[in-house]
Structure 1
Amino acid sequence: MRTKFLYIVLFLVTLFQWSCTEPYEIETVIYENVLVVESTITDEMKPQIVKLSRTSPLENVDVLLESNATVHVSSSDGQNYEFYWNNDLGYYVSYNPFNAQPNISYTLSINTADGKNYTSSPVVLPPRVEMEQIYAETITDPNQKKDGVQVLVNTTDPTGNSKYFRYEYEETYKIVAPNPTKYYTQIIDYNPDEGTYKIILSPRIPEEICYSTEISTGITQASTSDFSENKVFRFPVRYLSKLDSKIQTRYSLLVKQYVQSVEAFTFYKIIKDLGSIQSLLSQGQPGYASGNMVSETNPEEKVLGFFEASSMTSKRIYFNYDDFGFKKPPYFVECEILQYDYYKGPSPFGFNEREALYDRITYDDYQVLSVNSRLVYRIVQPECSVCTYFSSNVKPDFWED
């Protein structure tokens, strides 16, 4: 989680926006090193997580992770759940899976490496509300220049006990490389003085089908508190342009619905209004939002973030571009097949195709598609030939074709 924390008087920010016509490099005016806490435990039986970091000046692009802390969650029924630092993931993970239970309160406690103690207010799991429906429709909105697919959610709580919702999604899409290669390429015996070399082609199984998964960023919330009926209806959670390469073959979206307390909903809303667009807390926030974390060591110390318990339900949807009558979207990159003749080497009157072939394969990682008996090579950039260059050829367990 990239966290930025900037205290700038609001009218000065507005003044800059109105008056500056030349590019202006923003620098931190006042900066405080503040602990940032982000954690949502759910009613899913799984390893729960806690993310800790430190605020940093706006001009610092590095994420300042808070490691080597002692982290645990205690419950009102006497349970205690310890967490460990996972260096690969960059956050804390519970040693044992657990799930939040109804009518039990949970408290997060943190002891940082510098000896400071922090605790949260007790939180209680909100009632569970099943997501009723997730579906996709074509959308054309000339004013917003939208032309594509909108994924929508319907949810109803007839009890009226749950009025605040937050949504996240995981999108997975199938990738088919347009120019798969049957060869591994190796250059040997390179002579820089004469510009000669040999290209060894070894057989390979074409890696043309891959799957990529991306997790949503930003804060997406819905509330029914102002409605006469406790119903989330046609709520948009994901928009995809009809030209988006992600829907070029087959696309799947897993939508997660979190029921929030009014306190958690309000905190996230404030964070979003302050300018967060990537995660719970992100760069460029012009203020401070008080959460439910406090410092036991120094009550005057600011702590940024929120610890919440949330009930979660999810649903998955699949679709193809032609389900909506769209033309096939373009591939992720423009693929150009180049052709070079090895025998067209150094010449005072022509283009050195042999040198260009060497450079493309050696420095740009171009892949050989074919070669004829006259050593004329057809090559293409790696993204167009080997999908594992930027994705994974491991088919997800949940995938349905």
Structure 2
Amino acid sequence: MKTMILFTVLFGTLLFQMGCTEPYQIETVDYENVLVVESTITDQVKPQIVKLSRTSSLDNTDVLTENNATVTVVGNNGDNFSFFQDNETGFYISNQSFRAQPNASYTLNIITQDGKRYTSSTVTLPPSVEMDEVYTERIVSPTDDKDGVQVLVNTQDPTGNSKYYRYEYEETYKITAPNPSRFITEITNYNLNTGTYDVELIEREPEEICYSTEISTGITQTTTTELNENRVFRFPVRYLSKLDAKIQTRYSILVKQYVQSVEAYTFYKIVKDLGSIESLLSQGQPGYVAGNMNAEANPNEKVLGFFEASSMTSKRIYFNYEDFGLGKPPYFVDCEVLLLDYNDNTTLDNDPDEREALYYYVTSKNYQVIRLAQGTIYTVVPPECGLCTSFSSNVRPDFWED
């Protein structure tokens, strides 16, 4: 998470302006190094996560993780959960799995490595609302050039207690390499003077089937406060073009629904309206938005982000492009197939030096050999086309259904 330029925004004014069409009045200020906090604890028993980072200047594109902080979540029911920093992601993860309990309030406490203390406002868990349905429809809309598949959600809370919703998703898709390679190619004994070398093809099981998972970015929210009934109906959470390679074989999406407090909903909405692109506080975020985190020693110190408790439910669905009468989408990359003859080592025939080209494509571009003919003619393809593990994983997810 990053914020490249900070702005001063009066939170109360923004609340007033949320229902207006007038643009926000934002005052630009100089860059400041500010702590960024992002955390949602849920009513699901799992390791909970707190993300800490620092804002950076406009010319710095790196994510500045806040390291070596002491992080705890404390409940008024006596719960006290400590967190450790994961070396791989930099996130802070609870030492034990836990869930936010109904009728309890929680506070996030942070002590940074320089000794500064930060505390959130107390948050409570909103009521849980089960999603009624996650489903798909073919959509053709000439007005916005859409032609593909829309994933939609229906939800209803007959009690009327839950009115604010945020959605995330995890999409997993099956990949079938169009030109699977059954060889590991090793080039040895390269002679710089003569341009000769040895090619060894080692038989292996072709890695033809892979699975990739991606997590949604951005902020997707809705509210029922202005509706006649407390019902989310046909709410779009994901659109996939008919040309999207992700639906080329088989596609699955896990939709997560978070019931939010009005404070959390308002914070996320303002961040989105100010220009969030990829995450809660992305590098495209053009403003400072007051959240519910405060510096204990200096109430005037800016702290970005929000700590919330949210009840979460999820549903997973699967579909294939044939289910909607669509044609097979193109593959992720252009799978050019090259036939290169090792014995062709000259350009005098107005043809490229194929021996040199073979060496270049295999050693520099990781092209995969899919066929050998006449002992010297190699058929090669880009790595994504012959070896799906070059950009994905051949480990089948436990949940996957064909």
TM range (shorter): over 0.9
User: SS in structure 2 opposite 1:196?
Assistant: coil
Are the equivalent residues in 2 in contact too, given 1:180–1:206 (CA < 8 A)? yes
Letter in 2 for 1:359: Y
Q: Secondary structure at the match of 1:340?
A: strand
- Secondary structure in 1 aligned to 2:357? helix
C-alpha deviations, 1:13-65, integer Å up to 9, x for none? xxxxxxxxxxxxxxx96111111110000000001010011111222111111
- How far 1:369 sits from its partner (Å)? 0.9
1:165-223 deviations in Å (ceiling 9; x for gaps): 00000000000000001111001121111111111000010001000000000000010
Q: Which residue of 2 aligns with 1:16?
A: none
Aligned-pair CA distance for 1:372: 1.7
After TM superposition, the structure 1 = structure 2 runs for residues 1-400 of structure 1, keeping only pairs within 5 Å, are: 1-7=1-7, 30-350=30-350, 351-400=352-401
- The 8 Å contact of residues 5 and 30 in structure 2, kept in 1 or not, is answered as no
Unaligned 5+ segments in structure 2 are 10-27
- Return 5+ residue gaps in structure 1 as ranges: 10-27
Deviation, structure 1 residue 161: 0.2
Report the AA paired with residue 189 of structure 1. N
Offset of residue 286 of structure 1 = 3.1
Contact 2:3–2:285 (CA<8 Å) still a contact in 1?
Answer: no
TM-score (norm 1): 0.93
Deviates more, 1:280-289 or 1:245-254: 280-289
CA contact (8 A) 2:37 2:304 kept: yes
1:377–1:130 CA distance, 2 compared to 1 (3 A): same
- Give the distance between the partners of 1:286 and 1:335, measured in 2 at CA: 40
Q: Distance in 2 between matches of 1:148 and 1:311?
A: 31
Q: Look up the SS of the partner of 2:319 in the other structure.
A: strand
C-alpha distance in structure 1 between counterparts of 2:347 and 2:163, whole Å: 75
Distance 1:280 1:193 in 2: 56
1:383 CA drift (Å): 0.6
Whole-Å separation in 2 of the counterparts to 1:145 and 1:8: 37
What amino acid is aligned across from residue 80 of structure 2 in structure 1? N
Give the 3-state SS of the residue equivalent to 2:197 in structure 1: strand
Contact 1:126–1:259 (CA under 8 A) maintained in structure 2: yes
Alpha-carbon distance in structure 1 between the residues aligned to 2:196 and 2:29: 58
Q: Deviations over 1:151-176 (max 9, x none)?
A: 00000000000000000000000000
* Contact 1:36/1:54, CA 8 A, preserved across alignment: yes
Bigger drift between 343-352 and 157-166 goes to 343-352
How far off is 1:276 after superposition? 0.6
Q: Which moved more, 1:281-290 or 1:305-314?
A: 281-290
Alignment deviations for residues 374-396 of structure 1 (CA, whole Å, 9 cap, x no partner): 41111111110000000000000
Q: Kindly tell me the number of residue pairs found equivalent between the two proteins.
A: 383
Distance in 1 (CA, whole Å) between partners of 2:381 and 2:332 is 14
Whether the aligned pair in 1 keeps the contact of 2:274 and 2:287 (CA below 8 Å) is: yes
CA deviation map 1:78-101 (0-9, x unaligned): 111001111211110000110000
Equivalent pair of 1:74/1:108 in contact (CA under 8 Å)? yes
What's the % identity of the aligned pairs? 67
Q: Decide whether the 8 Å contact of 2:182 with 2:203 is kept in 1.
A: yes
Letter in 1 for 2:45: M
Q: How far, CA to CA, are the matches of 1:142 and 1:52 in structure 2?
A: 43
For residues 212-260 of structure 1, give each alpha carbon's deviation from its aligned partner in whole angstroms, at most 9, with x where no partner exists: 0000000000100111100000000000000000000000000000000
Contact 1:8 1:286 in 2 (8 A): no
Once the 2 structures are TM-superposed, how far is the Cα of residue 6 of structure 1 from its aligned partner?
A: 2.8
* Secondary structure of 2:189 counterpart: strand
Cα offset, 1:4, TM superposition: 2.9
Q: Which amino acid aligns with 2:161?
A: N
SS in 2 for 1:190: coil
Structure 1 residue 347, shift from structure 2 partner: 4.9
Q: What letter matches 1:178 in structure 2? A: P
For 2:37 and 2:7, the matched residues in 1 are separated by 19
Q: d(CA) in 1 for partners of 2:43 and 2:386?
A: 43
Whether contact under 8 Å (1:291, 1:304) holds in the other structure is yes
Residues of 2 paired with 1:144 and 1:343: CA distance? 53
Calculate the TM-score normalised by the size of structure 2: 0.93
Task: Please tell me whether the aligned partners of residues 76 and 105 of structure 1 are also in contact (alpha carbons under 8 angstroms).
Answer: yes
Between the aligned partners of 1:347 and 1:127, the Cα distance in structure 2 is: 74
Question: Shift of residue 345 of structure 1?
Answer: 1.2
Q: Which residue of 2 aligns with 1:19?
A: none
